[in-house]
Amino acid sequence: MEPNEQQAVGRRLRAARETLGLTQEDVAGALGIQRTSVIAMEAGRRNVSALELRRLARLYRRSVAWILGEEDVEPAVSEDRALYRATAELSPEDRAQVLRFAEFLAAAKPSTEAGVRPRAAARRRITPEDG
């Protein structure tokens, strides 16, 4: 992988981690590597192995293609657009009802698909298999 590509991958890894509210320590624990390795990956100074890439994609709920820069749109962005389209024609009252239901679901399910609640990751050791 070229240095510029490695840096771009690192930027995507960092963005995905931060979006989920995970720390570098959380990621290191999930992958079974040192925190300094995560720092080096995100800085583009270390290659990411195929196995690490697959685990990171699962942990971050992203495709390997997105991490590698082969897909432009993050899954969350696509889902947000679909949700917007689905609710755009609703009345303000119905949109408020959808919002209340979404908030209810979020409160009822304390963990994310990755197995970690954002900002609570430090309280629980996570693994890529949690997702």
pLDDT computed for residue 129 by the predictor: 55
Same domain, 14 and 47: yes
Query: Domain span at residue 46?
Result: 5-68
- 124 pLDDT band (50/70/90 cuts)? very low
The yes-or-no verdict on residue 88 having pLDDT over 90 is: no
Residue 127 reports pLDDT greater than 60: no
Give the HSE-up count for residue 99: Cα atoms under 13 Å, Cβ half-sphere. 9
Residues 15 and 62 grouped into a single domain: yes
Would you say residue 116 has pLDDT above 60?
A: no
The predicted structure's pLDDT at residue 64? 93
Say yes or no: 13 and 59 in one domain.
yes
Average the pLDDT over each of 38-47, 85-94, 99-108, 119-128 and give the range with the smallest value. Answer: 119-128
For the chain, the farthest-separated pair of C-alpha atoms sits apart, in whole angstroms, at 52
Q: Is 37 inside a domain boundary?
A: yes
Question: d(Cα 85, Cα 78) in Å, to the nearest integer?
Answer: 11
This prediction has a pTM of: 0.57
Q: Are both 58 and 88 inside the same structural domain?
A: no
Asked, for residue 128, whether it belongs to a domain, the answer is no
Q: Domain count for the chain, please give it.
A: 2
1 pLDDT band, cuts 50/70/90, is low
pLDDT in tens, 30-56: 999 999 999 999 999 999 999 999 999
Residue 39 counted as domain residue: yes
Tens digit of pLDDT for each residue in 54-67? 999 999 988 999 99
Contacts of 7 (CB under 8 A, 6+ apart): 43, 44
Statement to judge: residues 58 and 23 lie in one domain:
yes
pLDDT of residue 61: 87
Same domain, 44 and 89: no
The verdict on 46 and 84 lying in the same domain is no
56 and 83 part of one domain: no
42 in the same domain as 15 = yes
